[in-house]
Amino acid sequence: MKKTSTRLADGRELIYYDLRDDTVRDAVDRRPLERTVTTSEVRRDPLLGDSVAIASHRQGRTYHPPADECPLCPSQGERLSEIPDSSYDAVVFENRFPSLAGDSGRCEVVCFTSDHNASFADLTEEQARLVLDAWTDRTSELSHLPSVEQVFCFENRGAEIGVTLGHPHGQIYAYPFTTPRTALMLRSLAAHKEATGGENLFDAVLESELAGERIVLEGEHWVAFVPYAAHWPYEVHLYPKRRVPDLLGLDEEARTEFPKVYLELLRRFDRIFGENEPSTPYIAGWHQAPFGQLEEFEGVNRDDFALHLELFTIRRTSGKLKFLAGSESGMNVFINDIRPEAAAQRLREVASS
């Protein structure tokens, strides 16, 4: 992998990740852009104890542009985009309309390929490995920013999810706090460790799932399963078999196997609902240990956390979506329409389709 960092016309950082070491990236952003001005701030809810990002400037962000005006495609002639060069393998840049900025963190866009009509599942194993390396590199770089406590690499795919740009891409949020979902995991981790005299909860969950009926696919270094208490109709968690706290901890063997396992998982997702609905909308996100202090989670350190990816779709059956209504949105109590065991069975069935 070759990494080349440059600046866009408004001062934002852009980084090319290339498969070839001899690739030269010297294209200049020719757009007449003024410096980006953001109004991001983080407010803490005194009752719930969580944080909300207020980012009113995002109302003006690009919304469903035609394909020939996509800002994530390479620049061609006088059609200028966020990527100055005429081609790329993978690229990361600071979001022009960030939810978090400055002392409130940072938001980046990750373009998986220059092919506008592709998806992550269409990538080759070599391309998917390049994206994994880009995620890892950005996790490392962002973790050193003084305002950053946790790094979240994720992909939203499909208009049903709320995606406003059709180009295959994901995002990276560098939060200035430990996210509520991660805090819940850490509290459960601490409680389990105390109650069992030191047993790791992630290890216990993984051991239980490996012995159960909800395994979707398994490699030498990775395993994917539908969790016992899945929140979503089709939800899969992908774990490395050797516990590590973040992407930086993966060894070369796990990195090499990841593309094959993850691409197969995504392709199975696209076959869940049959040929009439081949592009399953989904959210996929890496859960990594926070880089900040963990004093409030007594007895827990970063190495106790287990890196894993959570993948789920909001589609519950053909032509029908799972909406978060009163119980889910109002009280955070999920109601799943599909038994996790049935979801796992379906994901195993489509392996040979």
Tell me the catalytic residues.
Answer: 169
Residue with tokens 């959570």: 310
b/e 1-13 (16+ beta carbons within 10 angstroms → b): beeeebebeeebe
Q: What angle do CA 241, 264, 139 make, to 5 degrees?
A: 55
Neighbours of 23 (CB within 10 A): 15
CA distance 187 to 202: 12
Q: Is 150 helix (H, G, I), strand (E, B) or coil?
A: strand
Neighbours of 143 (CB within 10 A): 18
Q: Which residues contact 64 (CB under 8 A, 6 or more apart)?
A: 164, 165, 166
Neighbours of 225 (CB within 10 A): 26
Query: Comparing C-alpha atoms, which of 296, 247, 271, 286 is closest to residue 346?
Result: 271
Residue with tokens 């900025």: 101
Query: Comparing C-alpha atoms, which of 109, 157, 158 is closest to residue 134?
Result: 109
Token pair, residue 17, equals 């990740």
Please say whether the beta carbons of 159 and 191 come within 8 A. Answer: no
| 178 burial via Cβ count (<10 Å: 0-12, 13-18, 19+) | buried
CA distance 340 to 237: 12
- Mark residue 46 as left, alpha or beta (left: phi above 0; alpha: psi -120 to 50; beta: remaining): alpha
Query: Comparing C-alpha atoms, which of 150, 202, 210, 209 is closest to residue 174?
Result: 150
